[in-house]
Chains A and B, each alone.
Chain A
Amino acid sequence: MIRRCATALLMTAGLLSATASWAADIDVQALLAEIDRQRTFGDQDFTAVLTLVSEDPEEGVERTVAQQFRRDTDDAFLILIRDPAVQRGQGYLRQGDNLWFYDPDSRKFSHTSLKEAFQDTDARNSDFGDVKYAEDYTARTIEEGTLGKYAVYVLDLQATSDEVTYPFLKAWVTREGGLVLKTEDYSLTERLMRTSYYPRYARVGSAVVPTEMIFVDELVEGKKTRISMTDLSAAAIPDSVFTKAYVERANR
């Protein structure tokens, strides 16, 4: 624990004093680890209300509101749909490596995957948990650049396993603070599938999480999903929330 804190402190100090010459020798894995550390809640739980606005040239605009509960220490989350009324009660329960979808119509749970699309939007189920860049990816290249008014590192990342949603990522990370502002998400054939933007963050408890996420579908022009997080809280959540029984009970 002491060693982890020391590494984090050193990294933060390093990032704050970042210069071009220092960037040339940057320890990319340490940078990825720092991003992970910032975005992870550790011992704290996390609650938020998600509002998803999806645009589709065929289907038009759809708005979905969901309640999220998250516990990173157990790799657990629960997302329950509140609106629209016809989808109310549908839920995604993650327990470690298992992700279940709950259909309140049939009262059945069905196994699903973190790689799947969330509610037919451009978000993936994996977008709602903690991130593990350091574990899941290695950097192929790192360059300095700018994104808008921010000085960034542009990381070209390759997955270390087939467990991740996107095998290749290009990430724009602020040199100061180590915040991921944008990623380009590529398939195994390195085709650009999606561009993701993270323009707003909030410090909640010990973590810094994106409160606005925009996912642009690169295969269908004009298709995108914008997610805003409100009512953020790092208050403790009862253990019972991350269970199938809770999901069924909430739907009674």
Chain B
Amino acid sequence: MSIVWRIAIRNLQEHRAKSLIVGIIILIGTFVLVVGNSLMDSAAAGIRRSFIDNFTGHLVLAGVTDAPVSLFGVRSTDFLNNRTPRLDGYDRLLQAVEAHPDIAAWSPQVGDAATVNLAGPDGTTEGESFSQLWGIEPVRYLAVFPDAAELVAGSFLEPDQVGLLLSEEIAADLAESAGREVRPGDRVLLTATTQAGIKVREVPVTGIFRFRNALPQLDFVSLVDITTLRTLTGMTVSAPAEQILTAEQVAGLGTVDEDDLFGGGGAGGGAGSLVQEVESGTAAPAPLDLSGREATVIDSGAWHFLLLKLHRPGAAGRVTAELEQVIAEADLNAQVLGWVEAAAPLSQLSDGFKIVFNVVIIVIAVAAVIVIMNTLVISVTERISEIGTMRAIGARKGFVRRMIGAETVTLAFLFGAAGVVLALLLLAILGATGIRAGNLFLRILFGGEVLRPAVSAGSVAFSLLMVAAIAVLSSLYPLAVALRISPRQAMGVD
């Protein structure tokens, strides 16, 4: 062991109290960093797994509109009118998807939301709830998400079967408002608003299910046969009706001008000029002629999304680029979404929490630097005569620099390692027992009911690096103080 290290270790032992203060700060810092980063990484991995395995797959092909599109609809202030766009060029995209060697399975999907009522006898309804609906092809869906749905009662949708696989949460809500249990075989009314007015469909409940490792937002998702949802969403092949307007109606289009409506130029109008006298008839109204109604023809090729499962998640970038090339070549109004965009905005929460965590860590790090620096400065000040004597008998500045550096590195290494060991111990215990999400917030953060934190080598390395950086940064000023000490100054102190 060189003389520098021997002196450094002796100094640390002689100034035990101060060494301990600095050491404990480093220990706590390392412990918090390793535990915090591991928890964050585990939560992010949990969210990623929950989303990809439960409902997004690795990539999603979707239509394009002005606002961001996700599987839950269009994110816009005018979400009622800004409907999920159809996936343009579905057949061409499917051709590319089927031919791609990296794509293991695919499932097309339509999304909308509907009011759910239990259908009672004689056209009456009981209870009311509201559900996000995903229209699926059962075989394709199970190929991409084989373990996502856990049946509570009844059975999964069969191919071409008309029916609803009702979410357990919605079934409970419906049962509470109806005052009776909802069972497979019960019939429900689904009501949704389309551009062609409201659509109502009555379908049987084939089963009641929940998503495994469910995120809260999936509690409100029910699965329905695609034909029913296409009807409810208004995916028809009818051409838009020609709008024949009178000259007066055409004149009324555009911006409303209050002066045009009520006349300008100040008060003076009598309300009488607003009221027209109408000769009221006495005959009963003539029977209505509602003949000639156009039948709704469902567009059986219309989809909103194409969900893709890859053989290797690492191929996502390449598959995205190749599909984007297909989209560009065919000039399609389509886009490729990663799982984060497809499940937005909740999928972005973990990133948000990680940013907040790192900001907190930076604040703590700054405080730690100040405390450690102060302690080291005091330690150096107490040793002015010692350092001065060293300088007087020939120690150069480089020697003093190495000595202070060695003290800091020793402290950082010893206590940093202790912090890592303690953090690993805690993480091992938490990994074995699991942390149960007690509330909705934690369920979102954990990506499911239970978080089992795992240690990531990355988070340990990052934490040690950060602690080392804090230690080096903290020693800079004390070092400058030590280097300023001259032998004469040192002699004058005593």
Contacts and interface: CB of A to CB of B under 8 A. Distances in A.
A109 interface: yes
Given A53-B253, A86-B241, A233-B285, A148 B78 contact: no
A101 interface: yes
29 contacts: A51-B249, A61-B253, A63-B245, A67-B285, A83-B241, A103-B198, A103-B200, A105-B231, A105-B295, A106-B201, A112-B191, A117-B80, A149-B266, A150-B269, A176-B271, A176-B272, A178-B271, A179-B274, A181-B262, A203-B275, A203-B276, A214-B252, A226-B252, A228-B249, A232-B278, A233-B280, A234-B280, A235-B284, A238-B284
Contacts of A83: 241
Interface of B: 77-78, 80-82, 115, 117, 123, 125, 128, 189, 191, 193-202, 231, 236, 238, 241, 243-245, 249, 252-254, 256, 258-259, 261-272, 274-278, 280-285, 287-288, 290, 292-296
B189 to A, nearest CB: 5
A69 to B, nearest CB: 7
A200 B238 contact: no
B396 to A, nearest CB: 71
Interface string A160-194: 00000000000000101111011000000000000
Contact of B117 (A80, A110, A201): A110
B191 A101 contact: yes
Interface of A: 47, 51, 53, 55-56, 58-63, 67, 69, 80-90, 101, 103-106, 108-112, 116-117, 119-120, 146-151, 174, 176-179, 181-182, 195, 197, 199-205, 208, 211, 214, 216, 219-220, 223-224, 226, 228, 232-238, 241, 244, 250-251
Given A80-B288, A86-B294, A148-B269, A200 B281 contact: no
A190 B468 CA distance: 54
A147 B262 contact: yes
B286 to A, nearest CB: 10
Q: Which 4 A-B pairs have the closest CB atoms?
A: A148-B262, A177-B271, A149-B269, A149-B263
Nearest to B283: A235
A57 to B, nearest CB: 9
Nearest to B272: A177
A127 to B, nearest CB: 16
Contact of B285 (A69, A147, A149): A69
A205 B262 contact: no
A185 to B, nearest CB: 15
A63 B243 contact: yes
Contact of B198 (A61, A112, A177, A178): A112
